[in-house]
Amino acid sequence: MRALRRVTLAAAVVAAALGAFLYLQRTEPAWWARLWFPLRYDAVVRGYGRIYKIEPALLAAVIEQESKFDASAQSSAGAVGLMQLTPQTARGIAIRTGGSKFVLSDLDNPDINVRYGAWYLRHLLDKYSDERTALAAYNAGQANVDRWRADHEGVQFAETRAYVDRVERLKKIYRRAYAKRLGYG
- Band (pLDDT 50/70/90 cuts) for residue 7 is low
Residues whose CB falls within 8 Å of the CB of residue 114, separated by 6 or more in sequence, listed in order:
41, 44, 45, 48, 59, 63, 82, 83
Give the CATH number of domain 39-177; options: 1.10.530.10, 2.60.40.10, 3.50.30.50, 1.10.10.10.
1.10.530.10
Mean pLDDT computed over 101-129? 95
Residues 153-162: tens digit of each pLDDT: 999 999 999 9
168 is catalytic: no
* pTM of the predicted structure, to 2 decimals: 0.86
Catalytic residue among 28, 55, 64, 66: 66
**pLDDT confidence of residue 45:** 98
Q: Count CA atoms within 13 Å of residue 102 on its CB side.
A: 20
pLDDT, residue 11, reads 61
pLDDT averaged over every residue in the chain: 90
